[in-house]
C-alpha cells in the first residue's frame, strides 16, 4: 500500500542499510542525481527501480534546484501505490514507524499527508532536545504536495495533515564531521542566495504567520524569514538550540551540534553580506 522514494547522490555507504529498512515495500524508487560511485548498482542489486536525472554543472545538494528536482520526481515517477514515503539514504525505518504507517494508510481518514518524528543521532547520542523540530512530512499522496525553496525545501500540502507514531532514525554524521561541514558550507551559499533573492523580490513576510499559522511548514517558512532579519543570528541560534531547546540535556553531543549549527548560520551571514556588497558594486 506504500511506495518508497529515496533521493540519492553518491550514497554507496549508506544506501544498503536504508534499502534493508524499506524491504517491506515492493515498490522502491531510487531517484538518483547522476551518482559517480556504486549507488545505482547497489540500488539495482536490491531490486529498486532507478531513475536518474542530472543538472549539468550545478553543485546543489541533489544536482540542481532541490524543490524542482523533488517536484519532478513526484510528478513523473511511476509509483505503484497512492501513498508515497520519502526517505534519505542515511535514514532508517523502525518497526514501530512501519506499523504506524500501515495503520495510517489502511484506516479511513481525511488526511492527505502525515508528519513523522525523526530521531537524529550524533556521537552515539539521540539528539532529543537540541533539534529545531523533529517532525517532518514524509508520508503523503504525491498529487497533494509540492516543494518550494531552492535548498532546505518547504513542503506545501493541499489538504489536512495528520501525525503518526514511531520513529524515523537519522544518522547525519555517518560520513564524518568533515562531510557534514562540506555539505553545509555548500548549503550556506544557496541559503544566502535565497535570502538575497527574497529581499530583491520583496517576498511577503508575515510576523503573524510566523507564530500563528496553523500549517507547520508555513509557520516554519515565516519563522526562518524572521530569523534572517535578526542581528547576532549565529549566537541567537546557539542559545535557541542549547538553552531554549534544552540541548544541554543531550550532553557533549548537544553542545557540539549546537556549535556546528551556529557556525553554519555564520557562514550564511557572511555569504549574504558578501552577495549584497557585490551587488551594490555592480
Q: Which residue has the higher pLDDT, 50 or 68?
A: 50
Q: Residue 48: which pLDDT band, with cuts at 50, 70 and 90?
A: very high
Q: Residue 148: which pLDDT band, with cuts at 50, 70 and 90?
A: confident
What's the rounded mean pLDDT across residues 215-221?
Answer: 71
Q: Are 241 and 256 in contact (CB under 8 A)?
A: no
Annotate 162-231 with DSSP letters as a single string.
EEEEEEEEE-TTTT-HHHHHHHHHHHHHHHHHHHHHHHHTT----HHHHHH-SSHHHHHHHHHHHHHT-T
155 and 186 co-located in one domain: no
- pLDDT over 70 (residue 138): yes
Q: Which of 110, 137, 170 is the last residue of a domain?
A: 170
160 and 262 co-located in one domain: no
Write the CATH number for 155. Answer: 3.90.550.10
Give the count of domains, the chain: 2
92 and 42 co-located in one domain: yes
Q: E strand or H helix at 19, and its extent?
A: helix 15-21
pTM: 0.85
264 and 199 co-located in one domain: yes
Q: Which domain holds residue 275?
A: 177-281
- What's the whole-number average pLDDT of the chain? 90
35 and 154 co-located in one domain: yes
Give the model confidence (pLDDT) of 58-116 as tens digits.
444 444 578 888 999 999 999 999 999 999 999 999 999 999 999 999 988 899 999 99
Amino acid at each position: 500500500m506504500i511506495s518508497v522514494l529515496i533521493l540519492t547522490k553518491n550514497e554507496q555507504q549508506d544506501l544498503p542499510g536504508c534499502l534493508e529498512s524499506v524491504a517491506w515495500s515492493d515498490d522502491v524508487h531510487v531517484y538518483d542525481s547522476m551518482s559517480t560511485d556504486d549507488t545505482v548498482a547497489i540500488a539495482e542489486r536490491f531490486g529498486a527501480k532507478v531513475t536518474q536525472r542530472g543538472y549539468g554543472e550545478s553543485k546543489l545538494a541533489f544536482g540542481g534546484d532541490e524543490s524542482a528536482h523533488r517536484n519532478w520526481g513526484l510528478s513523473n515517477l511511476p509509483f505503484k501505490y497512492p501513498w508515497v514515503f520519502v526517505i534519505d539514504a542515511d535514514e532508517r525505518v523502525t518497526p514501530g514507524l512501519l506499523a504506524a504507517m500501515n495503520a495510517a494508510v489502511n484506516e479511513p481518514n481525511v488526511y492527505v499527508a502525515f508528519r513523522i518524528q525523526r530521531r537524529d543521532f550524533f556521537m552515539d547520542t539521540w539528539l532529543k532536545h537540541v533539534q529545531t523540530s523533529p517532525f517532518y512530512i514524509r508520508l503523503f499522496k504525491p498529487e497533494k504536495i509540492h516543494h518550494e525553496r531552492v535548498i532546505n525545501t518547504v513542503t506545501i500540502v493541499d489538504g489536512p495533515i495528520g501525525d503518526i507514531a514511531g520513529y524515523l532514525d537519522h544518522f547525519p554524521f555517518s560520513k564524518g564531521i568533515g562531510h557534514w561541514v562540506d555539505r553545509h558550507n555548500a548549503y550556506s551559499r544557496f541559503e544566502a542566495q535565497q535570502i538575497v533573492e527574497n529581499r530583491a523580490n520583496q517576498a511577503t513576510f508575515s510576523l503573524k504567520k510566523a507564530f500563528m499559522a496553523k500549517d507547520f511548514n508555513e509557520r516554519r517558512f515565516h519563522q526562518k524569514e524572521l530569523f534572517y532579519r535578526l542581528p547576532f543570528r549565529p549566537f541567537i541560534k546557539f542559545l535557541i538550540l542549547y538553552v531554549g531547546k534544552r540541548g544541554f540535556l543531550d550532553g557533549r553531543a548537544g553542545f557540539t551540534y549546537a556549535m556546528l549549527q551556529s557556525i553554519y548560520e555564520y557562514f550564511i551571514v557572511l555569504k549574504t553580506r558578501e552577495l549584497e556588497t557585490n551587488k551594490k558594486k555592480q
